Amino acid sequence: MSENQNIEWKENWRDEYLKWICGFANADGGKIYIGMDDNGKIVGVANAKKLMEDIPNKVRDVLGIMVDVNILEDNNLEYIEIVVPPYTNPINYKGQYHYRSGSTKQELKGGALNRFML
């Protein structure tokens, strides 16, 4: 498994990753793994159980959508899988529209935003 259009790896959770979730929701959906380094190695997260409660609530409150959040384990290291389905209606993060393109997150602006909204 490698980072691609539908997979993103992050070592720790940061609330700014809500933008990535927004981008996946506006594109073809995808998965974010928290507790994996840039090479795809599982490094684990210490607060996995707390994140299981915090992440779905933040996604719901900020983006207004639902995602599946799962704890996975490998070699006694817990890490988080966030499964984001694609949405047919535009999803915004604090008034900004993000989109997953390749292995990057892009903020839609100008003509690209107009085209997306239409």
Q: What are 71-82's pLDDT values in tens digits? A: 999 999 999 999
* C-alpha–C-alpha distance, residues 90 and 118, integer Å: 10
Q: Please state whether beta strands 7-10 and 30-34 pair in parallel, antiparallel, or not at all (unpaired).
A: parallel
The pTM is what? 0.94
Mean pLDDT for back-to-back runs of 10 residues, the chain (118 residues): 88 97 97 95 95 97 98 96 97 97 93 93
CA distances from 69 to 51, 101, 117 (A): 9, 23, 28
Residue among 46, 16, 50 nearest 32 (CA):
16
Write down all domains in the chain, each with its CATH number in brackets.
7-117 (3.30.950.30)
pLDDT at res. 59:
98
